């Protein structure tokens, strides 16, 4: 097994909304963590609050909220589901990904690490990382800032040996006792007899040491992806323009995409709730022409919706909920490398819907009526349905797809219809006599008696014209 440990050193701060720089998180009157500006002023973990304020009078202070930290870590676990199905939480600020079984899928350890770190950066999380053979060893090295890939046991143990004895999770009493023994590094601790150390510092530190070195098994409790997906995000500042919500939405959709991969599901429809300060909210429904688990596709559709959305009031929080889900079907990979697919017609369709409105993108189906005005029917596009026409009804193949809203009267000269010059008839007459059943009804086409022709003018334009008792008319154009 191969473990990628992600340590989020600023998670207590980055999990909080509505914060400004310089800022720090405190617990029991002492600094837990500060941002880069606070650190540059000399604020450090363990300081008294009064000392930190003396160093940085403008320091914004927040009480530590462990509930938010756990929610943020769980959101990251959902996001990590796109890389591996085996994810474990190591509270309060470490995420463990077992990537040994996914190396061939992604093309190697380095590729996975780069993709994971890029995803963390996109979500604005500060990250330390390490790849090692044991989960505890990877966690210790990541906390110690020892970024690297240790796929050989000897390399991992050498890196662990150089770590100081002040290990996260060991009590202050244990650390103080080790310092009193003159032990500075874990290498020094490993040299001493284990039985004597157990009597002096207890069983847990010694068992941890053996698990980190790989001498004891260290099974991890896997993170169980929730049955349904609904996640909230409070914004760091009130947003007054809809397009500015795309950045915050990316963190939500990143978690959603990872959750879909982890659960082997596809998304058909989701709702992004925009919450205002007066407890009112606006639901923004995103419907996909075909089920998908692609974060990039989610974000493209979201930006199309936000570009035409007018906010009723400043938005303070977002909630993303997956409404309609489908099981992901199995698929075989190609034997030989294939060219990457383009966006596709369905993805283009859903973006057009978002940009132009639901009622602006329609499909045409055929109806059993010979009159051109009545032969087609507009309807919403349903990608789940396969539209078929009555087998007993068919229309001429010489009809154009583009009909004018109303037939346009043509001038006749020397017995020939004129449209940008004299029209030359290219086909025999197609006689239509139909519609007697709705003759006299309001808004109906009524009974028609026409002879249709395909014609061409001197400019090379092809037209569909007819003649009836009133004269010649232009009814459609060929592409």
pLDDT, mean of residues 286-299: 89
Identify the pLDDT of residue 393: 44
Predicted confidence (pLDDT) at residue 389 exceeds the cutoff of 60: no
| Distance between CA atoms of residues 356 and 348, nearest Å | 12
Tell me which of 405 and 127 has the higher pLDDT: 127
For the chain, percent of residues with pLDDT exceeding 90: 55
Identify the pLDDT of residue 349: 72
pLDDT, mean of residues 27-37: 90
Tell me which of 256 and 384 has the higher pLDDT: 256
Rg (CA), the chain: 34
36-40, 111-115, 351-355, 435-439: which has the highest mean pLDDT? 111-115
Identify the pLDDT of residue 352: 73
Tell me which of 371 and 173 has the higher pLDDT: 173
Task: Determine phi and psi for 307, rounding to 5 degrees.
Answer: -65, -25
Q: What is the mean pLDDT of the chain?
A: 87
Task: Set out the domains of the chain in order of their start, with CATH numbers.
Answer: 3-16+65-213 (3.30.70), 230-330+341-353 (3.30.1490.100), 400-477 (no CATH)
- In terms of Cβ atoms closer than 10 Å to its own Cβ (0-12, 13-18, 19+), residue 331 is exposed
Residue spans of alpha helices (H) in 215-373? 245-263, 295-307, 345-356
Identify the pLDDT of residue 345: 67
| Distance between CA atoms of residues 42 and 331, nearest Å | 55
Identify the pLDDT of residue 277: 81
Q: How confident is the model at residue 18 (pLDDT cuts 50, 70, 90)?
A: low
Predicted confidence (pLDDT) at residue 103 exceeds the cutoff of 70: yes
Single out the residue of 265, 309, 269, 264 nearest to residue 285, CA to CA: 269
Tell me which of 411 and 383 has the higher pLDDT: 411
CB 473 within 8 A of CB 408: yes
Least confident of 278-292, 371-385, 427-441, 447-461: 371-385
Predicted confidence (pLDDT) at residue 392 exceeds the cutoff of 50: no
Least confident of 163-177, 240-254, 256-270, 429-443: 429-443
Predicted confidence (pLDDT) at residue 248 exceeds the cutoff of 90: no
Q: Is the pTM of this model over 0.95?
A: no
Tell me which of 377 and 329 has the higher pLDDT: 329
DSSP per position, 360-416? G-EEEEE-S--SGGGSEEEEE--TT------TT----TT--SEEEEEEEE-EEETTE
β pairing state of 94-98 and 3-7: antiparallel
Residue 260 is encoded by which pair of tokens?
A: 């879909």
Predicted confidence (pLDDT) at residue 23 exceeds the cutoff of 60: yes
- Which 8-state DSSP code applies to residue 242? G
Q: How confident is the model at residue 382 (pLDDT cuts 50, 70, 90)?
A: low
Identify the pLDDT of residue 331: 64
Q: How confident is the model at residue 20 (pLDDT cuts 50, 70, 90)?
A: confident
pLDDT, mean of residues 403-428: 90
Residues 6+ apart with CB under 8 A from 95: 5, 6, 8, 73, 76, 77, 80, 87, 88, 89
pLDDT, mean of residues 99-117: 93
Q: How confident is the model at residue 387 (pLDDT cuts 50, 70, 90)?
A: very low
Predicted confidence (pLDDT) at residue 395 exceeds the cutoff of 70: no
Q: How confident is the model at residue 302 (pLDDT cuts 50, 70, 90)?
A: very high
pLDDT, mean of residues 347-368: 72
Helix (H) or strand (E) segment spanning residue 158: helix 153-161
Predicted confidence (pLDDT) at residue 279 exceeds the cutoff of 70: yes
Q: How confident is the model at residue 442 (pLDDT cuts 50, 70, 90)?
A: low
| Distance between CA atoms of residues 321 and 59, nearest Å | 36
pLDDT, mean of residues 293-301: 90
What's the pLDDT tens digit per position in 39-68? 999 999 999 999 999 999 999 999 999 999
pLDDT, mean of residues 417-431: 91
């Amino acid at each position: 097994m191969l473990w990628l440990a992600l340590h989020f050193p600023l998670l207590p701060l980055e999990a909080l909304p509505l914060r400004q720089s310089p800022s720090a998180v405190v617990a029991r009157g002492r600094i837990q963590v500060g941002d880069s500006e606070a650190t540059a002023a000399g604020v450090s973990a363990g300081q008294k609050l009064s000392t930190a304020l003396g160093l940085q009078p403008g320091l914004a202070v927040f009480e530590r909220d462990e509930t938010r930290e756990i929610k943020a870590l769980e959101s990251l676990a959902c996001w990590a589901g796109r890389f591996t199905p085996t994810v474990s939480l190591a509270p309060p600020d470490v995420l463990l990904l077992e990537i040994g079984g996914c190396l061939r899928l992604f093309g190697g350890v380095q590729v996975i690490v780069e993709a994971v770190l890029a995803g963390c950066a996109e979500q604005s999380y500060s990250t330390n990382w390490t790849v090692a053979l044991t989960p505890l060893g990877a966690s210790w090295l990541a906390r110690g800032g020892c970024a690297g890939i240790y796929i050989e046991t000897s390399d991992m143990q050498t890196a662990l040996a150089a770590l100081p004895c002040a290990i996260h999770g060991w009590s202050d009493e244990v650390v103080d006792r080790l310092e009193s023994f003159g032990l500075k590094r874990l290498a020094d601790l490993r040299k001493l007899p284990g039985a004597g150390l157990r009597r002096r510092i207890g069983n847990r530190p010694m068992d941890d040491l053996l698990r980190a070195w790989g001498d004891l098994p260290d099974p991890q409790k896997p993170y169980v992806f929730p049955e349904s997906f609904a996640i909230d995000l409070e914004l760091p500042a009130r947003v007054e323009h809809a397009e500015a919500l795309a950045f915050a939405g990316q963190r939500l959709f990143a978690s959603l995409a990872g959750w879909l991969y982890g659960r082997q599901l596809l998304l058909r429809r989701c709702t992004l709730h925009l919450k205002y300060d007066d407890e009112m909210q606006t639901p923004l429904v995103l419907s996909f022409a075909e089920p998908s688990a692609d974060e990039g596709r989610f974000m493209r559709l979201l930006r199309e919706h936000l570009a035409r959305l007018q906010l009723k009031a400043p938005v303070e929080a977002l909630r993303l909920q997956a409404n309609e889900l489908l099981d992901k079907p199995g698929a075989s990979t190609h034997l030989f490398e294939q060219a990457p697919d383009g966006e596709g017609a369905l993805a283009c369709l859903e973006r057009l819907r978002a940009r132009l409105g639901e009622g602006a993108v329609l499909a045409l189906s055929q109806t059993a009526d010979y009159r051109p005005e009545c032969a087609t029917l507009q309807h919403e596009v349903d990608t789940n349905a396969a539209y078929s026409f009555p087998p007993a009804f068919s229309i001429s193949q010489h009809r154009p797809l583009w009909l004018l809203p109303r037939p346009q009267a043509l001038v006749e000269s020397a017995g020939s219809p004129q449209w940008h010059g004299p029209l030359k008839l290219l086909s025999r007459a197609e006689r239509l006599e139909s519609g007697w059943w709705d003759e006299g009804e309001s808004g109906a086409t009524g009974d028609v008696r026409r002879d249709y022709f395909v014609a061409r003018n001197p400019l090379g334009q092809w037209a569909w014209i007819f003649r009836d008792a009133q004269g010649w008319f232009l009814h459609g154009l060929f592409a």
